[in-house]
Amino acid sequence: MEHGTITQDNHAALWHGRFEEGPDAQAVSFETSIFVDERMALDDIKGSRAHAEMLGYAGIITKDETDSIIAGLDSIEKDLNDGTLKIDYSAEDIHSFIEATLTDRIGEPGKKVHTGRSRNDQIALDERLYLCRFVPDLQNRILTLIETLTQIAEKHTKTIMPGFTHMQHAQPVTLAHHLCAWSWMLTRDADRLSDALKRIRISPIGACALAGSGLPLNRKYEAKQLGFDEITMNSLDSVSDRDYCIETVSALSLVQMHLSRFCEEVVLWSTTEFSFIDLSEKWSTGSSIMPQKKNPDFAELIRGRTGRVYGDLIALLTMMKGLPLAYDRDMQEDKQSLFDACDVVLSCVEVFTKMIATASWNEAAMAAACEGGFLNATDIADYLVRKGMPFRTAHGVSAKAVRLAISKNCRLEDLSQEDFKSCSPLIESDIFEVIPPAACVNARKTDGGPAESKVMEQISALKTFCAEKRRSF
């Protein structure tokens, strides 16, 4: 047997009536899902509580029966929370475990909790309830990461560093500007999750197995008890789709993609060659053979786990691609992927936040890196544009200056005024005011640009975003 405690006798409790023979032991361990779905125990209880309230409200069970079911569920919840009740892994799934425990505790009324309900709509509800807890939790952690980055950015609005395209020196920016770029990506990640949540927060319960019920269930009342404003409009759709899981994992994949790319920079920036960042010892590892090593393993692990999250997304999409309506057992396989993606992304956001918050930044190395690579070449062209030269011509003049500097093995700043004059008579001595890296950065005052005043605007907008979303998530 794969999982020690399962027995054939107590396993098939919910559906064994039609069978004369018990299932093969291997069949039991092959199909059971409690090891994966146990994490939805509290969601399952919440769903059953609302279902019992609805059954009572609709007059399908008596008030006493409702009260007894609710009291039973409350006691199960309490005992699970304080650890006095342990999950019985011989149950087929979390629904069977909660229902069997309820009937154990309260007797006959417990057998009524599944009236007008199927595990098909129950599981869809449990997943949605689980995501209603998970998504805001993750969103708040994303906000903490944005706040952390913003705090670092505030201290580095004057820290000049090279900006790159093709991983080649492009134009100077500041560390603050660079960190804000990642922060904006994370704001969209947080918003995307809110958007997914809109479609998660719709109640499928009452769809039953696939075709609703002949009993007078009140689906809208039950949805209200659950805190949902809407119900699904088609019973077949309610039990057949997992698009809310896929949409969530898709949003999670984007969060993870952003972290992974940022981690790539952290790895690169902690090399001896770059030395832009120095990770704290708390968030670094050493080598078993090379005594000098301080490795950025956490950034690498986050980057590496990204493959797992994408794999989860592809697994879900592929699992669903050939399924006809309505419920198919294939769909049980959604939870491994969903929960794996949730766990990986949540822990990565948290670990990344701590890693980046405790890192130190090497301003001197960033400044030194701005010295080579002609980051200010565009500024020479812009200088000439301001003097009336067409940009394409100015581009050629600046390229000539770059070639001259290459031939003299010096920086553009080191060329003499005669050198510049030989490139264009329009260049005067004030060229030396516009080409230091700090001057290049602060000239870029376009909205969204790296000039200090503009980055301060970004930082304040990011702070407002976090403060407003904290209240709404």
Could you list the residues that contact ligand ARG (CB under 6 A)?
33, 93, 119-120, 123, 327, 329, 331-332
Q: Following CA atoms 77, 38, 44, 79 in sequence, which dihedral angle do they give, to the nearest 10 degrees?
A: -10
* Residues comprising the chain, all counted: 473
Q: How many CA atoms lie within 13 A of 418 on its CB side?
A: 0
Q: Which is nearer to ligand ARG, 210 or 301 (CB)?
A: 210
* Closest to 420 (Cα-Cα) out of 403, 436, 437, 443: 403
* Cβ contacts of 140-144, under 8 Å, gap ≥ 24: 140/470, 140/473, 141/346, 141/349, 141/350, 141/353, 142/186, 142/189, 142/190, 142/193, 142/255, 142/349, 143/190, 143/466, 143/469, 143/470, 143/473, 144/353
Closer CB to ligand ARG, 120 or 238, in the complex? 120
Nearest-approach distance from CB 56 to ligand ARG, in angstroms: 25
Respond yes or no: is residue 183 known to be catalytic. no
Q: Can you name the residues that pair with 230 across neighbouring β-strands?
A: 202
Q: Which of 3, 287, 453, 460 is catalytic?
A: 287
* Cβ nearer to ligand ARG, comparing 303 with 335: 335
Compute CA 200 distance to the chain's CA centroid, rounded to the nearest angstrom. Answer: 16
User: CA 175, CA 104: separation in Å to the nearest integer?
Assistant: 62
| β-sheet bridge partners, residue 83 | none
How far apart are alpha carbons 363 and 204 in whole angstroms?
55
Tell me the C-alpha distance between 100 and 93, whole Å.
Answer: 11
Q: Which two tokens stand for residue 108?
A: 């006959």
Task: Write down the residue that tokens 């080579």 correspond to.
Answer: 372
DSSP state, residue 23: P
**The two structure tokens encoding residue 239:** 């039990």
Q: Which is nearer to ligand ARG, 142 or 338 (CB)?
A: 338
- Prior bond of 394 cis (ω within 30°): no
Q: Give the shortest CB-73-to-ligand ARG separation in angstroms.
A: 19
- Closest separation in Å from C-beta 119 to ligand ARG: 4
Nearer CB in complex with ligand ARG: 93/379: 93
Q: Residues 33, 90, 114, 166: which is the catalytic one?
A: 166
CB of 331 to ligand ARG, least distance (A): 5
Q: Nearest distance from residue 445's CB to ligand ARG, in Å?
A: 56
Residue closer to ligand ARG, measured from CB, 338 or 427: 338
Cβ burial, residue 219 (10 Å; 0-12/13-18/19+): buried
In the complex with ligand ARG, the residue whose CB is nearer, 91 or 146, is 91
Cα angle for residues 379, 383, 387 (degrees, 5° grid)? 165
Rounded to a whole number of angstroms, the minimum distance from the CB of residue 120 to ligand ARG is 5
Residue 224: Cβ-neighbour burial (10 angstroms; 0-12, 13-18, 19+): middle
Q: Which is nearer to ligand ARG, 129 or 441 (CB)?
A: 129
Nearest distance in Å: CB 42, ligand ARG: 17
Q: What SS3 class is residue 395?
A: helix
Indicate if 3 belongs to the active site: no
CB of 324 to ligand ARG, least distance (A): 15
Task: Name the residue nearer to ligand ARG (CB basis): 33 or 253.
Answer: 33
Residue 13 C-beta: closest distance to ligand ARG, Å: 13
Q: Which residues of 118-154 are buried (b: 16+ CB within 10 A; e: fewer)?
A: bbbbbbbbbbbbbbbebbeebbebbbbbbbbbbebbe
Where in the sequence numbering do the catalytic residues fall?
166, 287
